[in-house]
Amino acid sequence: MSIAKRRSLERSRRAARVRKSISGTTERPRLCVRRSINHIYAQVVDDVLGRTIAQVGSVGKEFAAKTSGKTLNKTEVSKIIGEMIAEKAMEQGVKTVVFDRKGYLYHGRVKALAEAARGKGLVF
């Protein structure tokens, strides 16, 4: 088995293990993070109703308007996404969330997003 396949399998196993115990409710929805090679996405999900409350990603007009052509590294982008998701969640009346890192290790971009969201007032 190649290293890439093994890493992917390990991440999906961690995600499944964590997801068994984490679920978003109406009072405390789930903040879900998705990371790719170049981009990062976050969304706040109410699993009981099955709907997305807020979502933001490093691709799109809203993000481009916020960064306005600046050259940023991936960690700085993650911080901006964390701030944006916290602002959107607060607009919808969400103050506390459950953090779902989807099997990604809690460091680097995932950690930067989480700390930026906490800095804007989101509690988890």
Decide if 16 contacts 99 (C-beta within 8 A). no
Task: State the average pLDDT over residues 88-115.
Answer: 96
The model's pLDDT over 5-29, given as tens digits with 9 standing for 90+, comes to 999 999 999 999 988 999 999 999 9
Averaged pLDDT score across all residues of the chain:
95
> What is the maximum span of the chain, computed from C-alpha positions, in angstroms?
46
Decide if 117 contacts 78 (C-beta within 8 A). no
Residue 70: pLDDT band with limits 50, 70, 90 = confident
How many CA within 13 A on the CB side of residue 23?
Answer: 8
The model carries a pTM of 0.91
**3-119: CATH class:** alpha beta
Task: State the average pLDDT over residues 97-123.
Answer: 96
Q: Could you say which DSSP state residue 29 is in?
A: -
pLDDT at 60: 87
Tokens matching residue 48: 């009981």
Domain spans of the chain, in order of start: 3-119
